[in-house]
Amino acid sequence: MPLSELVSPGAANTNLETLITRKNNTLVIPEGLATIPCTHGIHRFAGKFIPNLPRYLLRELMPPMRTRVILDPFCGSGTTLVEAALEGKPFIGMDIDPLSVFISSAKTQLLSNNQLSTLEKFWAQHDFSKGHPEVIPAVPNINHWFTDKTLDELSSIKFRCKTLPPKLKLFSLVVFSSILRRVSNADDQTQKTYVSHTLPKTPPSPSVLFPRFLNRAIKGMREYASRLPTSPNGIVRQGDAANDIAALEFDDVITSPPYIDSIDYVYNQMLEYFWLLDELGIYSHKNYLAMRKQPMGFRTCTKNIATIFLKKYLTGAEESFETICSKIGEANPKEELTVRSFFFDYARHIEQVSAKQRKNGTYACIVGNSLIRGITVPTDDLVTRIHINAGYKLVAKYTYEIRRHYMKFPRRNNSGKIKQDYVLIFKA
């Protein structure tokens, strides 16, 4: 469908500003930024960076040609993909987390004014009191998380979502998923999904929150459509960045790999998973539990396999890496293995990327150093060493301060908030 049929005449090509400046090797990000324009605000997703950052990278540090394909192999909720679409560039998003793929697909797809009007009329006529017990998740202790009235209202929304055409169904289900934590008994101010007994919560009802969030999402989609220079040209697929790059064709990479043993996305978003088991291709609570150790940063391999592989990719940093791992291992051998496994997986990822990335490609990597058992893991230096040993050249390194943390409370003494991220720019 031509873009002219989807947006108001003359509305396209109105670019959002980056509002980021560079002072020496620091990216200066002003406070008070509006960080949820277009479809960025559809879902509150843990660990995502502000859209201004990939917007800045796409405009200032990436080759400008619109034919160059942007890959984000750890796409999360699709921030980079939305920004690539807004720059008119083709994109590929990939993530091992099916919920990430689900959300990213909804945020990057384009819905016409007619489709959005249809959606508004459809939900304006919805009867929240008509529950459908057959779609309530068959998971243990569901009433621990939701009251009976909330379950009835949520089931009414889920049931009607399933009657919509595919693109509208996807959009509605993502909006539906975005209210689940808010309407549950679970605490809103921490990543972990738990019900606080010291600070009991009185959640809003789905019948109040869903229309509000839906209207905001529709408004965001209309803005997204109005700012697109051309119809989005991209795909989002489920895949493992350490194993599944070989099938892709791309020019440049903008990505932020997961922090080591930091954000447990599958656990933290369990309520979304409970309600979307079938739609995410998981189908059972047992299968959901099996996903917990699949993402990079949480899964582990044997120490021998990791050590042998990393001898090639950490050449020049082996001694410091072994010292760090040994210190962590003295406190907790399991977490030592997690650290080794993370860099093993990242090196396998870069091995695949370097074999597939087109000539003169740029790889922009946003990482933060982790504090494990009181030991700082210099992720920026180790990631740089892996890239260099894979044939890349580090051409720039910037830092910026993380001001907006999803989690409001500091973690236990052996960990902590990551206060600074590094932007590493490599050339193939």
pLDDT, one tens digit per residue, over 202-256 is: 999 999 999 999 999 999 999 999 999 999 999 999 999 999 999 999 999 999 9
User: At a CB cut-off of 8 Å and minimum separation 6, what does 140 contact?
Assistant: 285
Is residue 249 one of the residues assigned to a domain? no
Residue pLDDT, tens place only, 7-32: 443 344 468 999 999 999 999 999 88
Residue pLDDT, tens place only, 143-153: 999 999 999 99
User: At a CB cut-off of 8 Å and minimum separation 6, what does 322 contact?
Assistant: none
Q: Which of 94, 161, 86, 101 is nearest to 128 (CA)?
A: 161
Contact indicator for 271, 94 with CB cutoff of 8 Å? no
Q: Which residue has the higher pLDDT, 314 or 4?
A: 314
The span from the CA of 66 to the CA of 88, in Å, is 6
Residue pLDDT, tens place only, 256-284: 998 887 677 778 899 999 999 999 999 98
Is residue 132 one of the residues assigned to a domain? yes
The span from the CA of 311 to the CA of 161, in Å, is 51
Is residue 156 one of the residues assigned to a domain? yes
Q: Which residue has the higher pLDDT, 233 or 3?
A: 233
The span from the CA of 45 to the CA of 48, in Å, is 6
pTM, to two decimals: 0.92
Contact indicator for 222, 38 with CB cutoff of 8 Å? no
Is residue 167 one of the residues assigned to a domain? yes
The mean of the pLDDT values for the chain is 90
Residue pLDDT, tens place only, 365-402: 999 999 999 999 999 999 999 999 999 999 999 999 97
Is residue 89 one of the residues assigned to a domain? no
Is residue 319 one of the residues assigned to a domain? no
pLDDT score recorded for residue 262: 66
Three-state secondary structure readout of the chain: CCHHHCCCCCCCCCCCCCCCEEECCEEECCCCCCCCCCCCCCCCCCCCCCCHHHHHHHHHCCCCCCCCCEEECCCCCCHHHHHHHHCCCCEEEEECCHHHHHHHHHHHCCCCHHHHHHHHHHHHCCCCCCCCHHHCCCCCCHHHHCCHHHHHHHHHHHHHHCCCCHHHHHHHHHHHHHHHHHHCCCCCCCCCCCCCCCCCCCCCCHHHHHHHHHHHHHHHHHHHHHHCCCCCCEEEEECCCCCCCCCCCCCEEEECCCCCCCCCHHHHCHHHHHHCCCCCCCCCHHHHHHHHHCCCCCCCCCHHHHHHHHHHHCCCCHHHHHHHHHHHHHHCHHHHHHHHHHHHHHHHHHHHHHHHCCCCCEEEEEEECEEECCEEECHHHHHHHHHHHCCCEEEEEEEEECCCCCCCCCCCCCCCCCCEEEEEEEEC
Domain range holding 173? 113-219
**What domain count does the chain have?**
1
The span from the CA of 155 to the CA of 220, in Å, is 25
The alpha carbon dihedral of 262, 267, 271, 272 has a sign of positive
**Alpha carbon distance, N-terminus to C-terminus of the chain:** 36
Is residue 27 one of the residues assigned to a domain? no
At 417, the pLDDT band (50, 70, 90 cuts) reads low
Is residue 96 one of the residues assigned to a domain? no
